[in-house]
Structure 1
Amino acid sequence: MEAQQREANVQRRVILALSGAVGIALLLIIGGFVYDRLVLPSRTLKQVNNATLSRGDYERLTRQETIQQMARTLQFSKLFGSNQSFGQGGRFDEQIVQANLQLLEIGTSRSRQEPVADTLVSQWVDQQLAEQAAQQQFQINPEGGEVDQLLVSELGSVLPATGTPTDTAGITETVTAEASVAATAEASAASTAATTPTATAVPTATPLPAEATTLANQVVDELYNEYLNILGALPEEAPERQRTPHAAKEEMAAALRA
């Protein structure tokens, strides 16, 4: 009877010890998760007046900048071919695959062990100072259509010929030349009372805000399809993390409008 009692006591101690170890392990896991997902992202890196840059904001800016760089590479890939390259940066499709993997790493524990990019923080500070000054002095807030106009002017070359804003350089030269010839003809034919047709207004290369928004959405569609095509063209034996797009179309659109 005593032997059974001792054995029961031993088993009870073992169970208590194991339960304590499991409890401590769970607490460590939960604590690490809370620190990694809540405490660390909310840590302040920089402050400009009332604007604060947290670690989480910094990671969103890093994703945003990566997507913006990727969009420029996608533009070149769309125009010149994904297997082409400029300088020593590697082929356009290789740059896209690398940028896609970088998006996967942003915000991970490993990436948070790396030092903060001072250049990106400085860019954020400059942007905040400029925006706050514009708001305080001139009450300037960029409208959505104005942002889309800029997006189209920078990346609109990926659109089909029927969807891109007309380049007015050649038109301007033609209208100017015609106007000059017309003026000469009018002077020489004044005695015959001949009339010269009036030159029409020169079209602008910048679309109106409403049209720019439509074109900007088309630009995002073209760039994102190129992104998917490049990843889809990878060999089947390529790792799934390479073949999977790590940026949604909505995120790309937001990054290009930022």
Structure 2
Amino acid sequence: MGTPDETTESGAGALAARRIRALIRRAGALAAHRTRALIRRARMSRERYSWRFVNIGLATAILVGSGLAAISGQNATAQAAEKQNDTVVQADWRVDTVLADMSAAAEKAAADQAAAKAAAAAAAAEKARLAALPWTLPSDARITSYFGMRDGRLHGGTDFGEFEGEDIWAAGDGTVSYVGYEEGGYGNVVYIDHGDGIQTRYGHASKILVDEGDKVSKGDTIMLAGDTGRSNGPHLHFEVLIDGEKVDSLKWLEEQGLNPG
């Protein structure tokens, strides 16, 4: 063991060492604290500046966006107005076109209706005129041969092309003067005496529907068309005789106010 003095010096030295270590620890802790405080301040400063920049950026973006929106809104409004004007112009143009078409259609319909009425009136007038005439056509078939010379011989009548069995009509009021089969190519034939020296003859009948002495009226069916006698097919051979002489039957019908076609 050491002496008391050595022990005392040794205890004082240990105490001093402990105090020094404590001071060092305190200085280190204080330095660390100050360092952390400085770091926090630096961070806060950066954050404040960062938020300032962020706020400035946001404000700038808002201003720019507002400006762009205003410009876009003006452009959109202008485009909408222009489109509306175009639409109105096009709509006006289409309406004018539709109205013009409707007017033209109405005029055409009115003209067609007037033409139809005129045609109906003309047909009714013609029907009334024909009904008032004492004579009529013996057939409404088309004419296939006329009065005149044919193959060196006189073709003394007018031929109407017929289908087998079609009705043949009396050309006027009169009395059936002859019914039978006549040589010379006429085949089955009917004669009607109309008075005043006028006689009509109807040839090539497939069937005769009247007898001698029958009274007939204009338009009565007297026979059915055929091709009896000298014939190249079903037809009516129609003749007009004045005082026993053959005349142009087609011309005679026209003179009576008829239109054989």
Say yes or no: TM over 0.5. no
Greater strand proportion: 2
TM-score where L is the length of structure 2: 0.28
Structure with higher Rg: it is: 2
* TM-score normalised by L of structure 1: 0.28
Report which structure shows greater RCO (CA 8 Å, sep ≥6): 1
